[in-house]
Structure 1
Amino acid sequence: MQRIDHVLPWSTLGTERKLSVFRFGKGERKAYIQASLHADELPGMRTAWELKKRLNELEEQGLLNGVVELVPVANPIGLGQLLQGAHQGRFEFGSGKNFNRDFTELSEPVSELLADQLGDDPRANIRLIRQAMASVLEQLPPAQSELQGLQRLLLSHACTADIVLDLHCDADAALHMYALPQHWPQWRSLAAHLDVRVGLLAEDSGGSSFDEACSLPWLRLSRRFPEAQIPLGCLATTIELGGQADTGRLEAEAHAEGILAFLAEQGLIGGDWPKPEAEACEGMPFEGTELLYAPHAGVVTFLRQAGDWVETGEPLFEVIDPLSDKATTVCAGTQGVLFAIERLRYAQPGFWMAKVAGRIALRHGRLLSD
């Protein structure tokens, strides 16, 4: 195992933050795994520790057929953001920016560098594109903030990977994942290994989140240069490992083993690995996700659990105002998987309370709910 520590720029005087990357194995192919980019989403960090131990063992046994880079703490900035005992790891305090938005878009500068060099050899094109991506990031002007420096470091490690896993969680949720629709056939096995309840698929959900900053440039380049043989060279996904409280040891061990079994199927790990026990879930359009809000303030009582299949018109939660005695039941507007519910039980304006993944498109444009 090799440990690489990057010092982040623009730390407060007298302080220093580092991004630590753990590298296992060697070879041409590479997987990159990071956890807790939203720093208050800790199930991924717990799973990453299990992965770190197992990767050490596999490396000692000579079973790694490629490189695996692991970043257990992808956001040291947000990890320190505590306000009166409450962790605030989703938005950077200084700027208010979401830590998982506005990553550098690489397809445009890469296309300018390689316009006359891409040909009919897919492997050669992959090498050229990855070299160009790394070069673009290296030649950017100095980072103007600690957040920008962090994002560039993360992307610089991931953009040269064949497989990228970004481990997150939701508030109170069943396991679900986000990916390009073109990649879903390849992700079905991982979904089965992890017993994911639904895959949410979109080419561009808006906001330039980390996984799309890794995978989407390949799709854009293949369309910009249709005469060249450009594979979708980076298989990237965001995996939501349940809810914020799901940091149990057995859960983390199971998630780690599922991820390793998938990497073995992809040829990065040798040895015998079990087949998935669950069936692959359905991949649904991200445009089909319904966000449900409370119509007024009050205490919330959920009537269904995260992971349940719900029908159109089925009651999902009640909102009760004990001062006016107003009680309202909110029902599903679409058929699908109730994959996430809000952890807090007090309804506030503008904050979603439940998310249902359905088969019919309901929204267009920016799909992310910051």
Structure 2
Amino acid sequence: MSYQIYSHVLPSATPGTQRMLKAHHFGEAGARPKVYFQAGLHADEWPGFLVLNKLIKLLKKADETGLIKGEIVVIPVANPIGLAQNFHGYIPGRFAFSDGGGNFNRNWPQLGKKIQKRIKDDITNNSSMNESLVRKAIHQELALLPETTELQGMKKTLLALSMDADEVIDLHCSGEASMHAYVAQEFETHFKPLLALLNAKVGLSEFDTGASSFDETNVSVWRNLKADHGDLIPWGSRSLTLELRGENDISNELAHQDSKALFSYLILRGVVDGEKPVIDDSQVEYYPLDAMDLVKAPCAGIVCYHKDIGEKVEVGEMVAEIVNLMDDDVESSSYPLIARTNGVFFARVQRRLVVCGESIAKIAGKEHLSFREAGHLFED
């Protein structure tokens, strides 16, 4: 048995308070492949908590029977800071209250240039040796990251646990949505089996969103080095953000289904021993992130949707309407929201009272949209 639980204490934010990250480790340290899972980086997105709870149960049974061949790290609660932001019974866990505020999944430390400078004179013609060289440099640069504040400590700890993993799977959710994922263009083929196992039909494909999100940060070091050195640098990390439907799509049945899919994926990748699943990925389709229409509210009011999650839409169709409660003429107080692309209506906000200018729905399309700007493809 190799199962271990480690508690990582974060810097104390205020006198008398202390928070921790709990990491569940399976397999021998350093074994390959290594896969890292985390849930709740956005602390108001909770389906992943239950999914990883059930995945840990499956992994414990596999460990007891000697089936763990690689290394697996599971962080079931990745953001205790955000979870503590309880405001009159509501947990606004997407943005930090302190430490400068900001989205918990944006502006993570970027180590690419520092690592490039550290190893540029040591690159060889052996890709395996180069991989080891990069991993060592990552470890050295991570050690230099500041951890003065609680948030800095949390980010440094999560990166230290994830950046040497072959695969990083970050679990999130949307307000109301079908199962979908954000996948780097380079990894579309690699992660297609995972999306198929999860019955996800929509994958958002991107290269560089400009967000410096957690999953992009794990990959960016390798991407930057490959840009300069090509195949001499292998993909030492592949990552994706997995959106587990909507905020209220939480049940034992769904969590069991999703955890079984993740476990089957670990078997497929040889991390866990077992009979490899048969994959039918014919229903999985990738859509460019710069072709995703962000439907915005033209005014504040009540939103009424005309399309359901998963429905196909065409350019010019009304997907929703906003009723402006402050208009004098109630006969003309409804404002239509029109699709600007052909595609799939796959996500929308859960609240029905919306504010002016807010992105309230998403349509996955195929054709580039001129108002979608490369490097700024994620809303906050």
TM range (shorter): over 0.9
The equivalent residue for 2:297 is: 294
**Is 1:126 the equivalent of 2:128?**
no
Moved over 4 A (4+): none
- Cα distance in 2 for partners of 1:71, 1:255 equals 16
The equivalent residue for 1:156 is: 160
Unaligned runs of 5+ in 1: none
- Cα distance in 1 for partners of 2:226, 2:81 equals 35
TM-score, length-scaled by structure 2: 0.94
- Cα distance in 1 for partners of 2:379, 2:185 equals 20
1:294-323 deviation per Cα after TM superposition (whole angstroms, max 9, x unaligned): 212221111111222211112111111345
**Residue 160 of structure 1: CA displacement?**
0.3
1:74-132 deviation per Cα after TM superposition (whole angstroms, max 9, x unaligned): 00000111111111100011122111111111211111111111222222211111111
Output aligned runs, 1:32-43, within 5 Å.
32-43=36-47
**Is 1:146 the equivalent of 2:146?**
no
The equivalent residue for 2:348 is: 341
Output aligned runs, 1:78-227, within 5 Å.
78-94=82-98, 95-140=100-145, 142-226=146-230
**Residue 361 of structure 1: CA displacement?**
1.5
**Residue 275 of structure 1: CA displacement?**
2.3
- Cα distance in 2 for partners of 1:279, 1:232 equals 26
- Cα distance in 1 for partners of 2:325, 2:133 equals 64
- Cα distance in 2 for partners of 1:115, 1:288 equals 36
The equivalent residue for 2:335 is: 328
Equivalent residues, number: 368
**Residue 222 of structure 1: CA displacement?**
0.8
What is the letter of the counterpart of residue 265 of structure 2?
F
Output aligned runs, 1:24-103, within 5 Å.
24-26=26-28, 27-94=31-98, 95-103=100-108
Contact 2:204 2:287 in 1 (8 A): yes
Please provide the CA RMSD for this pair: 1.4
1:155-176 deviation per Cα after TM superposition (whole angstroms, max 9, x unaligned): 1111100010000001111111
Q: Which moved more, 1:271-280 or 1:124-133?
A: 271-280
Unaligned runs of 5+ in 2: none
Give secondary structure in 1 for the equivalent of 2:335. Answer: strand
Contact 1:285 1:359 in 2 (8 A): yes
Contact 1:195 1:279 in 2 (8 A): no
Give secondary structure in 1 for the equivalent of 2:15. Answer: coil
TM-score, length-scaled by structure 1: 0.96
**% of aligned pairs identical?**
36
Contact 2:47 2:244 in 1 (8 A): yes
What is the letter of the counterpart of residue 312 of structure 1?
V
Give secondary structure in 1 for the equivalent of 2:232. Answer: coil
Contact 1:198 1:284 in 2 (8 A): yes
Give secondary structure in 1 for the equivalent of 2:203. Answer: strand
